[in-house]
Structure 1
């Protein structure tokens, strides 16, 4: 890298066909707060939204309609209550937290369809959406 070149440009961008494949494939693994809110608002919730933080954090404030299931409690016997093929969307506190990734790994290991809601609770709040308080667990 020369002093006239930024760290951004020091590594060339991927060719457009590779960038397209990379960014399009991300949608198979993640969704965002806006799309989750829109689906629930329109009554088209064809997924189960899992808050994978602790029950205490869930009770303090969570996405309306989310089910509390801490990532460490995602096990086959609990997931058997859901119909085969159910899509799960997981979230945690936000980009600074890897709980959603941990939950997604556990669901994927069980052979279940899963997407991560990028941004988590922080993203939800940043979009201006409200939280709900109280208990509802799986």
Structure 2
């Protein structure tokens, strides 16, 4: 009798590769975002979609505060249409980044979710900024 892990056979390698390639098309992580900023290779716009008050308290360095409810076609036209946006919120217990990704994609924009959000950034031991700058 197989273990609970092996009871359902693993997918074939080609299916597994397709699955994880698809996931990486939708997500990035805190480490990759941090590495991009550290290397000066920032080819995306990092959006913190939490409230302006939470953003002012603490946020990922380089992030812009833009709650998902403020993401309108007019507001997003400030960036070129081929801009890649990376969104994050409080963490796995929050769906604000999912809502932002949905809104941006419905506006025809490219977006990835930074998995883990603030919780993930904290777990990685990375530093935060604080500022009184908030979205309009």
Q: Distance in 2 between matches of 1:63 and 1:106?
A: 21
Using structure 2 for the length normalisation, give the TM-score: 0.92
Q: Distance in 2 between matches of 1:20 and 1:42?
A: 28
Unaligned runs of 5+ in 2: none
What secondary structure sits across from 1:27 in the alignment?
Answer: helix
Match of 1:109 in 2: 106
Moved over 6 A (4+): none
Match of 1:14 in 2: 11
Q: CA deviation at 1:46?
A: 0.8
Match of 1:78 in 2: 75
Match of 2:116 in 1: 119
Q: CA deviation at 1:134?
A: 1.2
What secondary structure sits across from 1:28 in the alignment?
Answer: helix
Cα RMSD over matched residues? 1.5
Q: Does 1:94 align with 2:91?
A: yes
Match of 2:54 in 1: 57
Q: Distance in 1 between matches of 2:22 and 2:80?
A: 26
Q: How many residues align?
A: 135
Q: Distance in 2 between matches of 1:30 and 1:77?
A: 25
Using structure 1 for the length normalisation, give the TM-score: 0.91
